[in-house]
């Protein structure tokens, strides 16, 4: 099997990262907030938003997953008006 050079590997990794970021951004709109919830001594990210008079909540993943936590932090940087209730 032919080895892939470092430049191509780096480009592929960057493309994958951008693709995952875009998917995350499409999944979680600006009108919601990420919150941390504790369950069995572990913390998990949930996304919370309002639909009419109802509050909706969607599981995102564990806080220990660096890629998820990085995206949550990026979301909060882009949307500084959002707050994170706990």
The pLDDT, as a whole number, for residue 27 is 76
Does any domain span residue 54? yes
3 state SS for the chain: CCCCCHHHHHHHHHHHHHHHHHHHHHHCCCCCEEEEEEECCEEEEEEEEEECCEEEEEEEEECCCHHHHHHHHHHHHHCCCCCCCC
CA-based nearest residue to 86, from 39, 29, 50: 39
Does any domain span residue 83? no
The whole domain housing 30 covers 6-78
Does any domain span residue 86? no
What parts of the chain have a pLDDT lower than 50? 83, 85-86
The pLDDT, as a whole number, for residue 62 is 97
Q: Which single residue is written with the structure tokens 């990794």? A: 13
CA-based nearest residue to 63, from 36, 81, 82: 36
pTM across the whole model: 0.67
Does any domain span residue 85? no
Does any domain span residue 58? yes
Q: For the chain, how many structural domains are there in total?
A: 1
């Amino acid at each position: 099997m032919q080895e892939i050079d470092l430049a191509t590997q780096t480009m592929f990794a960057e493309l994958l990262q951008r693709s995952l970021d875009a998917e995350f951004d499409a999944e979680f709109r600006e009108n919601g907030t990420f919150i941390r919830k504790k369950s069995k001594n572990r913390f998990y990210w949930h996304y919370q938003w309002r639909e009419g008079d109802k509050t909706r909540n969607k599981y995102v993943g564990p806080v220990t997953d660096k890629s998820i936590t990085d995206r949550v932090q990026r979301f909060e940087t882009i949307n500084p008006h959002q707050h994170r209730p706990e």
